[in-house]
Amino acid sequence: MDEILSYRQYVRPFYVMAKPAGARCNLRCTYCYYLEKSNLYPAAPAQTMSDELLERFIRDYIAAQAGDAVSFAWHGGETLLRSRDFYRRVVELQRRYADGRQIDNSIQTNGTLLDDAWCEFFRENGWLVGISLDGPPEAHDLYRRDRQGGPTFEAVMRGVALLQKHGVEWNALAVVNRHNADDPAGFYRFFRSIGCRFLQFTPVVERILPHDDGRQLASAADAGAPLADFSVTPEQWGRFTCALFDEWVVGDVGRIFVQLFDATLANWVGEAPGVCTLSKNCGHAGALEFNGDLYACDHFVFPEYKLGNILETPLTELMRGPRQTAFGDAKLRALPTQCRRCRYLFACNGECPRNRFERTREGEPGLNYLCKGYQRFFRHAEPYMDFMRNELMHRRAPANVMEWARKRMGDGR
């Protein structure tokens, strides 16, 4: 088993989320886990990735990939605080080092700084743009505030309209928090109404632990830290995912792609889920800070999870080294007995290790805080997932589930 694990680790591609503007941002979202990472770099307030580092990263990242396609992910902080010239240079360097590979780029942004020129750049270069949007204005604006504390919904929607005008490929990245989790139907209908076809949503789960350097959030290793009040509860998460699933399964299968549902179906048929949180192992997506520091994961940017600096140690060595391999394999190895015996282990895999700070019924540590919510979701989705798996096995479209679901729900559930 161990041999198989390490063999897979070796041939599997790895990804790196690059932070060209570090943790700098024009907004001040209450729940943001990244803004406070500036405190790790007090001596470099500008947090700007240098041209030397950019070139080294692009060259080494392309060279490290075994396949024909290489995917770059630009992340932050706010990515659009860097100029278009910076990203033109990215494209130029990618062409220089591509060596016949196909290069893809995705960029995550809060959307408020988009204008025609940015959209033209993304369209011309075929970049996929991820937009952070938490639902309709009353859901979005509570936590997604600008520096002055003002709302941002309208600015984001102006950005979305520009992307649509220019025909830029985009998807929405929403977070589910204590506030917006109670209106799943309104949330889903909103995204449908704005023409969003690719929807990802992440549960916000943070705990508070003040550090001497000014950071306020706990890492997975910090036992006993209290929950931040914007965190979604397991009960909310369960209700939210079930109700959203009901909206989707009666009308939008094959039309709107919801990452959680696609990944669940993939696990149901024994395929790779395409999202780390529901995979058996993880550790194949590092986070690269503006100065070359590489961390185990975007959600593990804590000093104790720093792998090294790519200007000092080759990127491949850090990503394929024993520390990162152990980090990724721990997702499976550290599962508590309750998870190992769970009937939904194949679908859940204990979800993300950063949320495993609860104890099991037997008092064993390492249970996922959202466990109850996931259990409820998998139980709820099970008959529909079984139906879709059966359709796929018989080479029929999973979208046939919609008619079956409508009848089933009409039949008095």
Ligand X SMILES: C[S@@+](CC[C@H](N)C(=O)[O-])C[C@H]1O[C@@H](n2cnc3c(N)ncnc32)[C@H](O)[C@@H]1O
Cβ atoms 338, 372 nearer than 8 A: no
Cβ atoms 253, 402 nearer than 8 A: yes
Which one among 350, 388, 398, 405 touches ligand SF4, defined by CB under 6 A? 350
For 293, list phi and psi in degrees, rounded to 5.
-65, 135
Cβ atoms 90, 136 nearer than 8 A: no
Size of the site for ligand SF4 (CB under 6 A): 35
Could you tell me the smallest distance in angstroms from the CB atom of residue 372 to ligand X? 19
Q: Does 19 bind ligand SF4 (CB under 6 A)?
A: no
The first and second tokens of residue 285, run together, are: 């997506």
Point out which residues bind ligand X (CB under 6 A).
Answer: 25, 31-34, 75-78, 108-110, 132, 173, 175, 202, 204, 206
Q: Residue 71: exposed, middle, or buried by beta-carbon count in 10 A (0-12, 13-18, 19+)?
A: middle
Nearest CB to ligand X, comparing residues 134 and 247: 134
Which residues inside 370-399 make contact with ligand SF4, applying CB under 6 A?
A: 371, 374-375
Q: Which does 58 bind (CB under 5 to 8 A by kind): ligand X, ligand SF4, none?
A: none
In sequence order, which ranges of 38-115 are alpha helices (DSSP H)? Answer: 51-64, 84-97
Could you tell me the smallest distance in angstroms from the CB atom of residue 130 to ligand SF4? 11
Which one among 297, 381, 388, 402 touches ligand SF4, defined by CB under 6 A? 297
Nearest CB to ligand X, comparing residues 31 and 61: 31
The first and second tokens of residue 208, run together, are: 């508070």
> Residues 6 or more apart from 218 whose CB is under 8 A from it?
206, 207, 208, 209, 225
Q: What residues pair up with 146 in beta bridges, in sequence order?
A: 27
* Secondary structure (3-state) at 308: strand
Could you tell me the smallest distance in angstroms from the CB atom of residue 205 to ligand X? 7
Q: Which does 181 bind (CB under 5 to 8 A by kind): ligand X, ligand SF4, none?
A: none
> Nearest residue by C-beta to ligand X?
132
Other residues' Cβ atoms within 10 Å of the Cβ of residue 11: 8
Q: Find the angle CA(28)-CA(287)-CA(205) to the nearest 5 degrees.
A: 50
Nearest CB to ligand X, comparing residues 129 and 265: 129
Q: Which does 282 bind (CB under 5 to 8 A by kind): ligand X, ligand SF4, none?
A: ligand SF4
Closest CA to 31 of 130, 159, 129, 176: 176
For 166, list phi and psi in degrees, rounded to 5.
-90, 0
Q: Which does 352 bind (CB under 5 to 8 A by kind): ligand X, ligand SF4, none?
A: ligand SF4
* Stretch 107-136: interaction string toward ligand SF4, x if CB under 6 A: ---x---------------------x----
The H or E element that residue 9 is part of is: helix 2-11
Q: Does 27 bind ligand SF4 (CB under 6 A)?
A: yes
Which one among 256, 352, 385, 402 touches ligand SF4, defined by CB under 6 A? 352
Catalytic residue (choose from 246, 293, 298, 329): 298
Q: Does 203 bind ligand SF4 (CB under 6 A)?
A: no
Q: Is 146 a catalytic residue?
A: no
Q: Which does 202 bind (CB under 5 to 8 A by kind): ligand X, ligand SF4, none?
A: ligand X
Q: Does 25 bind ligand SF4 (CB under 6 A)?
A: yes
What residue type is assigned to position 288 of the chain? L
As a 3-state breakdown, the chain gives helix, strand, coil percent values, each rounded to 5, of: 45, 15, 40
Q: Does 344 bind ligand SF4 (CB under 6 A)?
A: yes
Query: Alpha-carbon dihedral of residues 118, 86, 23, 158, nearest 10 degrees?
Result: -10
Q: Looking only at Cα atoms, what is the longest distance across the chain?
A: 64
Nearest CB to ligand SF4, comparing residues 94 and 279: 279
Could you tell me the smallest distance in angstroms from the CB atom of residue 2 to ligand SF4? 19
* Secondary structure (3-state) at 401: helix
Q: Does 293 bind ligand SF4 (CB under 6 A)?
A: no
**Binding range to ligand SF4, per CB under 6 A, among 61-69, 75-83, 90-98, 318-326:** 75-83
Q: Which does 374 bind (CB under 5 to 8 A by kind): ligand SF4, ligand X, none?
A: ligand SF4
> Residues 6 or more apart from 312 whose CB is under 8 A from it?
292
Residues annotated as catalytic are: 298
Which residues contact ligand SF4 (rule: CB under 6 A)? 25, 27-29, 32, 34-35, 76-78, 110, 132, 276-277, 282, 285, 297, 299-300, 331, 338-339, 342, 344-345, 348, 350-354, 368, 371, 374-375
